[in-house]
Structure 1
Amino acid sequence: MKKEIIIIGGGIIGLCSAYYLHKEGHKVSIIDQSNLEGGASYVNAGYVCPSHIIPLAAPGAMKQGVKWMFDKSSPLYIKPRLDADFIKWSLAFNKSCTTKHVNKSIPIIRDISLLSQELYGDIRRDEGFQFQLEHKGLLMLCQTEKLLEEEIKGANLAREYGLDASEISLDELKKLEPHVAINVKGGAYYKCDSHMTPQEFMSAMKTYLKESGVAFFANEKVNDITLKNGAISAIQTDTKTYQADEFVLAAGSWSGLLSKKLNLQLLLQAGKGYCINVKEETGISIPAILCEARVAITPMHDFTRFAGTMEIAGINHNIDTFRVNTIAKAVSNYYPEISLSEQDKNNAQAGLRPVSPDGMPYIGKSKKCKNLTIATGHAMMGWSLGAATGKLVSEVISNQKKTLNLDAFDPDRTF
């Protein structure tokens, strides 16, 4: 049965959901409060990374977060504040930071990551899109013996789960990256990973969807949601009222605020990340993460992106120049021949990533609203899991057999 569907949110999750729903013959509209040209889907590191099998909520994460709480230069900065939603989220996050949770999550994250990687390739092939999708892997670069030991353990664990990962020596690293000096002791190499230039994909997908009849309503903020008999009957924006058979909540960090209008307890916090784009040639050819600094490096089309930080400080797009400078300093520390210019730093951008308390996304329906499908909470994995999430959303709404078991992503799960 073909349905009329409204997707709230035009980021990577919203667009991929629209793509697969359109393929199933549904009539799809996308509503977004922005102009659909910016945000986390445009300024992320572009990784499609099966290597990231450990959820954000892992043993020691809360302890480290508290330690870094008063250090604005730290990779993870949690701004302390008396806010009920933040306190609930913090307690749930702390409760999730267990070895049991990690062990349960690893195969689930691996499977949805590998599915997404495959689907991105299918989309490019099936539609003839020209976006970058390169399979050069991902380097984890370490300057200290402590982090190197941890990364080697991580690579060994990934290999146990069938991923192509291994330790890499400094000599091997120099052979892989002969055109740039790297100041590290060694690291790990995940050949299983891929990378993209996000803007290319977003632009190609929007063009395709518009030409296919998907309606876009930009600069339309959802102000109210009307419920009737346990279902959404209408949503109201600044300018009009919209009705549909089904709705998808894919509004990223704003999803938590909108869920309150539905009496849902969707715990989410906005995790701000920054990116600096450098058009000058850097010599970097393989994506890398600077482990101690938690900075991600991606060679994209016509520029290199340096991205980093997880700043949990509420919903805002303020650029903290101190944190931007921290990223730039880390780059020069690991790559001594690379120095980011003042202009590059002044052009830094920020995006907000929706972070769930257990580091797992929300994908599926809530029992509290029968015609709403939720797709948010991906944290730093939003881009990586975009295609798979869109596919799963389509399967939920189309009442098809699910490619993956969705129990771990249940929006009604408790913490």
Structure 2
Amino acid sequence: MKPTVVIGGGVVGLFTAYFLQQQGEEVIVVDKGDMEENCSTGNAGMIVPSHIVPLASPGMIAKGMAWMFSSKSPFYIQPRLDKRLVDWCLQFYRHSNAAHVQRSIPYLKAISLYSKQLYLDFVATHGNEAIKLQDRGLLMLYKTKEGEKEEAALAHLARESGLRAEILSKDDIRKLEPHHEVDVLGGVYFPDDAHLSPKDLYRLLKNHLEKSGVQLQRNVTITGFEKSAGNVNAVMTNEGKIDCGQVMVCAGSWSGEIAKMLGFRLPMMGGKGYSFELPNTPELKQASILTEARVSQSPYGEKVRFGGTMEISSHVDKINMRRVQGIFESIKAYYPEFKAAFPSQDKIWKGMRPCSPDGLPYIGKAPGWENVAFGAGHSMMGVSLAPATGKLLADLKSGKIGTLKTDAFAVDRYAR
């Protein structure tokens, strides 16, 4: 039997390999990088069933236009002559409406809750010492009346969808953050959310897979495919040919380029984000999102990670220090007592989030191919949805039919 080749060694690719290996498959993971630092290692590490509204939603266009004129804003699109960017922006605009949000909610809720349970199962099997999963909820903090209105509406929407959400006063928040006088008007608490250490999760997955016999091939570039009669027989790389029985494409922001090699359209743009760790002094205890600033903070005992921005840019390796400054300034705005020193550039992480134009991931069979499937386009929810995506792809390979509805995530929805 020929092996299954997973293209992409991020957290989605590794969880796909994990569940395939559990089903007895021979698996080879191929990644164009060194599998040390990538989009899976420096993010907020949040597991967020509360995030049932896709990125393409009402109000995002107006906010995006306003943010475009601030060098420190949470969102930025680098203007450039790029047909892919223009097409992506048009599709994003078409999906930024209430009808799309209502259609998307049941799908995002179901896959997020499934993924959360898979994380709990993973911890039960492998222990929690390594990944530091903290099942303590997520706090959405707001400073303004406009922020209060938006977050209260989201809390109401979550409750209508069967999720738990609590609207908190400033005094309520003080109980969750006993070491800080948090400078906010109030917040919304989602008790079913969680967070973990993404770097430690990634390290654990790599070590487990290699010990289990999964091949991890690093610094390998995909150059094409050997095809016949609707099947891919081999993956062509700069290191040679890899014969395969199945291909799973989990290549993040570069999945669109792989789709192009296979002859179909998969709209995808990379949304660059930044983060950095600081000493947790005084100690922050509750994972939170600073809503007006669109900044996340995830505490891990002695350290806390701050992250944010969505920068649609062609400058993959460049760090925009003005946007990092915007993240940093938000710390004092919400936590005036926090002792923060601006990080040096070598301590700043950057990663390209894979963004589909409708804010929904691509999960399922590739159009026109019997043995190719995709799991990509998770935007800021890659870690959150990685176990569910990997399990769905592994079940697709084995022919198992689950109860989770996934048609909204169809890979061919822009190729029809």
The TM-score normalised by the length of structure 2 is 0.96
Distance 1:414 1:98 in 2: 18
- Cα displacement string for residues 258-290 of structure 1 (whole angstroms, at most 9, x for unaligned residues): 211111100000011100111343411000111
Alignment of 1:65-144 (within 5 A): 65-128=64-127, 130=129, 131-144=131-144
Cα offsets for 1:102-127 (capped at 9, x unmatched): 00111110110000000011011123
Deviations 1:184-207 (A, max 9, x none): 111111111010001111111111
* Comparing 346-355 and 27-36, the one that deviates more: 346-355
Q: Which residue of 2 aligns with 1:183?
A: 183
Aligned match of 2:374: 374
In 1: Cα distance, 2:383 partner to 2:342 partner: 28
2:45 corresponds to: 46
Residues 4-83 of structure 1: matches in 2 within 5 Å? 4-83=3-82
What is aligned with 2:232?
232
**DSSP-derived class of the 2:9 partner:** coil
Partner of 2:163: 163
In 2 relative to 1, CA 302–34 (structure 1 residues): closer, same or farther, beyond 3 Å? farther
C-alpha distance in structure 1 between counterparts of 2:362 and 2:300, whole Å: 29
What is the CA deviation profile of residues 153-196 of structure 1, one whole-angstrom value per residue up to 9, with x for unaligned ones?
11121111111111000011111111122111111111110100
The count of corresponding residues between Structure 1 and Structure 2 is: 414
Counterpart contact for 1:140–1:290, Cα < 8 Å? yes
Contact 1:249 1:375 in 2 (8 A): yes
User: Which one is further off, 337-346 or 217-226?
Assistant: 337-346
Partner letter of residue 289 of structure 1? I
Q: Aligned runs of 1:255-270 on 2, under 5 Å?
A: 255-270=255-270
Q: What residue is the counterpart of 2:395 in the other structure?
A: 395
Q: For 1:256 and 1:315, how far apart are their aligned partners in 2? A: 17
Q: Residue 301 of structure 1: CA displacement?
A: 5.0
TM-superposed CA distance for 1:345, in Å, is 5.7
How well do the aligned residues superpose, as a CA RMSD in angstroms? 1.5
Asked if 2 retains the 8 angstrom alpha-carbon contact of 1:396 and 1:402, the reply is no
Following the alignment from structure 2 to structure 1, what is the Cα–Cα distance between the partners of residues 282 and 265? 46
5+ residue gaps, structure 1, are: none
In 2, Cα distance between the equivalents of 1:161 and 1:9?
33
Query: Per-residue deviation at 1:404?
Result: 1.1
Worse-matched range after superposition: 56-65 or 238-247: 56-65
In the alignment, structure 1 residue 154 sits paired with structure 2 residue 154: yes
Which one-letter code corresponds to 1:261 in the other structure? M
Deviation at 1:78, TM superposition (A): 1.2
- Aligned residue identity for 1:220: V
Name which of structure 1's ranges 314-323 and 170-179 shifts more when overlaid on structure 2: 314-323
Identity %: 39
CA distance in 1 between counterparts of 2:89 and 2:172 reads: 41
Which residue of structure 2 aligns with residue 328 of structure 1? 328
1:40 Cα deviation (Å)?
1.1
CA positional deviation for 1:339: 4.1
Deviates more, 1:167-176 or 1:314-323: 314-323
SS of residue matched to 1:382: helix
Aligned partner of 2:249 in structure 1 is 249
Aligned CA distance change for structure 1 residues 304 and 211 (closer, same or farther; 3 Å): same
**How much has 1:230 moved relative to structure 2?**
2.0
What code does the residue aligned with 2:140 have?
M
TM-score normalized by the length of structure 1: 0.97
Q: Deviations over 1:286-315 (max 9, x none)?
A: 001111100000012541000100111136
Alpha-carbon distance in structure 1 between the residues aligned to 2:401 and 2:301: 37
Segments of structure 2 that go 5 or more residues without pairing to the other structure are: none
Query: SS of the residue aligned with 1:72?
Result: coil
Amino acid at match of 1:218: R
TM-superposed deviation, 1:51? 0.7
Cα shift readout 1:29-52 (whole Å, capped 9, x = no counterpart): 100011101111001101000111
CA contact (8 A) 2:235 2:244 kept: no
Q: CA 1:388/1:403 → structure 2, altered by over 3 Å: closer, same or farther?
A: farther
2: CA distance between counterparts of 1:142 and 1:377?
28
* Alpha-carbon distance in 1 for matches of 2:185, 2:6: 47
Report the CA distance shift for 1:344/1:301 in structure 2 as closer, same or farther (over 3 A).
Answer: farther
> What does the per-residue CA deviation read over 1:74-102, in whole Å, with 9 as the maximum and x for residues that have no partner?
11111121101111111111111111110
